[in-house]
Amino acid sequence: EAQVTQNPRYLITVTGKKLTVTCSQNMNHEYMSWYRQDPGLGLRQIYYSMNVEVTDKGDVPEGYKVSRKEKRNFPLILESPSPNQTSLYFCASSPHGPYGYTFGSGTRLTVV
Amino acid sequence: AQTVTQSQPEMSVQEAETVTLSCTYDTSENNYYLFWYKQPPSRQMILVIRQEAYKQQNATENRFSVNFQKAAKSFSLKISDSQLGDTAMYFCAFMRVQGGSEKLVFGKGMKLTVNP
C-alpha cells in the first residue's frame, strides 16, 4: 500500500529534551515536506526537501532541523523543544508536479 | 507571497442538503493549482478535489464539485447530498509549481458539521 508513515502518533516530552519524529514514504516521491497544524492557523510549512540532500526552510523553521539522506526518509528533529512547539505535525510527500500531497497520519506533540 | 483565505470558520448543514464552502486566494501567478483537502476527526488529510488554473472547466468528483472563478480568485467547494461522513475540517490550498518546489499554501480551515 502506498503510504507515508509517521512515528510516533502521540508524544509527550519535557522542555529541552531532544526528539525526532520519523517519516518514511514508499512511493519513490522526490518531494517531502513537514507541516505543523495549529487551531486557527491552518497548516504551515516547516521544512521541505526537493530530493536527497536538498532541503530548505519553509515558513516556520525556527527550532526545527531536518535531513534527507535517503529518498524515502525525512525525519524532523527538535533539538531543544519548547512549549510553543506543542502542535500537530504532518509529513507529506509528492512526486514533482502538481499532484497534491500524500500525508502521513500526523504526530500530536505536547511539550511540557 | 500567495495567501489563501477561508472566511467562514464554521458551518453546519442537514444531511442530504447541499453546502458550499468558500475560498479566495491572492497571487500574481497565471499558472497554478488549487486543492481542497478534508480532515475528518481521525485527523488524516484526504485530497478531495484538484483544479488546474489553466482549465476553464470546473473539476468534479462524485458529490464534490468546485466553482472556480479565476478573475475573482475564488475557488468554492460544493458538496451535494451531504452525508454524516462529510463532517470534517476542510482546507483550501494553493500550489505554484516552479523549479521542482511544490509548496502547498493552506487556508486556516473551515469546520463543517453535517447533522442527521
Q: Rounded to 5 degrees, what angle do the CA atoms A77, A32, B109 make?
A: 90
**B55 in contact with A at a CB cutoff of 8 Å?**
no
Residue A53, C-alpha cell as written in the block: 540532500
Residue B101, C-alpha cell as written in the block: 518546489
Q: How far is CA A17 from CA A20, B46, B60, in A?
A: 10, 32, 47
Q: From the CA of A5, how many Å to the nearest CA of chain B?
A: 12
**B109 in contact with A at a CB cutoff of 8 Å?**
yes
Q: From the CA of A24, how many Å to the nearest CA of chain B?
A: 16
**A10 in contact with B at a CB cutoff of 8 Å?**
no
What residues of chain B lie within 8 A of the CB of A33, using their CB? 103-104
Instruction: Average the pLDDT over B104-112 and give the result.
Output: 95
pLDDT, tens digit (0-9, with 9 covering 90-100), for A58-111: 999 999 999 999 999 999 999 999 999 999 999 999 987 778 899 999 999 999
State whether B102 and A31 contact (CB < 8 Å). Answer: yes
> Is residue B99 scored above 70 in pLDDT?
no
Shortest CA distance from B108: residue in chain A: A42
Cross-strand partners of B80: none
Q: How far is CA B113 from CA A66, B8, B11, in A?
A: 37, 13, 6
d(CA A103, CA A105): 6
Residue B91, C-alpha cell as written in the block: 482546507
Q: pLDDT category, B100, cuts 50, 70, 90?
A: low
> Is residue B101 scored above 80 in pLDDT?
no
Shortest CA distance from B109: residue in chain A: A42
Shortest CA distance from A103: residue in chain B: B45
Candidates A103, A93, A102, A106; CA nearest to A37 is A106
Which of the pair, B2 or B79, is modelled with greater confidence? B79
* Peptide linkage before A8 cis (omega within 30 of 0): yes
State whether A48 and B101 contact (CB < 8 Å). Answer: yes
Give the DSSP H/E element, type plus range, for residue B90.
strand B88-98
CB contact at 8 A, B97 and B108: no
CB contacts < 8 A, A to B, total 66
Q: Which amino acid is at B6?
A: Q
Q: From the CA of A16, how many Å to the nearest CA of chain B?
A: 27
Considering only CB atoms, A45 lies closest to which of B52, B103, B108, namely B103
pLDDT, tens digit (0-9, with 9 covering 90-100), for B6-31: 999 999 999 999 999 999 999 988 88
Query: Considering chain B, what percentage of its residues have pLDDT values greater than 70?
Result: 97
Query: Considering chain B, what percentage of its residues have pLDDT values greater than 90?
Result: 82
Q: Which residue's C-alpha cell is 512547539?
A: A85
Whole-number pLDDT of residue B55: 87
CB contact at 8 A, B86 and B74: no
